[in-house]
Amino acid sequence: MNILDALDAAEGTTCLVGAGGKKTTLYALANRLDRAILTATVRIPIFDARVASVRVTESPVAALRDLDASATEEGGSGDAFPLGLVPERERDDRYLGYDPATVDALAAAHDGPVLVKADGARTRLLKAPADHEPRIPPGADTVVPVASVGAVGESLSAETVHRPERVAAITDAAVGDEITPELIGRVLAHEAGSLKRVPDGATPIPLVNAVDDAADEAVAREIAGVVHERADVPRVVLARMIDAAVVAVVS
């Protein structure tokens, strides 16, 4: 199974949450999809080099319509996609994100897939959301919670985990404990963790990233088993997203 099919990302709105590979996954999907839009509801690092073009605009629907109208006159808009749409450049290294309702309006106006970064993790390998997170558009079709198998064996601390105290609170662990496959699975399956604010009607498909060898796959399968014990998800995807490679799909 390819990564588009594994994550149900070929159409509709796909939102990435969690830690340990969100941006890598977004860029991989964007460059394998026809007429993909890449956007965010939270801050996102500058990604101009990862897509064909970026428009910085407070009115993304109008910008999309202008692009489509221009393409009709000129005979095609393929060179513009994958298209990044963001509202503002906050500083030299990142953009701001749109309100979730604006992303829903954008998706309704677009005839292709929309990919959304819906929370942040400060480059850590695991996270649990804060009170204001994630910012998932109500009309999302698929939510992909991400965690990295590389967190296993590390300490439940700020060096590896974004908001370790929140992870501890939802997993019956303590800050400083060793991160286990069981702990990661609990985070991915928890309604106050990776499944927080998944809209009614959206499909959650957890992604365990950085599965680089057979040992990683064995650990990732343990994580997937915990997820399936605790949550109603159709599958857990084990992948090596630096290569956009699906290692296994655990149903």
Per-residue pLDDT tens digits for 163-209: 999 999 999 999 999 999 999 999 999 999 999 999 999 999 999 99
Nearest Cα neighbor of 210 from 228, 187, 185, 237 is 237
Q: Which amino acid is at 193?
A: G
Model confidence at 70, pLDDT cuts 50, 70, 90, reads: confident
Q: Does the pTM exceed 0.75? A: yes
Q: How many helices (H) and strands (E) does the chain have?
A: 7, 15
Domains and CATH numbers, the chain: 3-250 (3.40.50)
Q: Supply the DSSP string of 126-185, one letter for each residue.
A: EE---TT-----TT-SEEEEEEEGGGTTSBSSTTTEESHHHHHHHHT--TTPBP-HHHHH
Q: Which amino acid is at 154?
A: E
Per-residue pLDDT tens digits for 129-175: 999 999 999 999 999 999 999 999 999 999 999 999 999 999 999 99
Q: What share of the chain is helix, strand, coil (3-state, %, to 5)?
A: 30, 25, 45
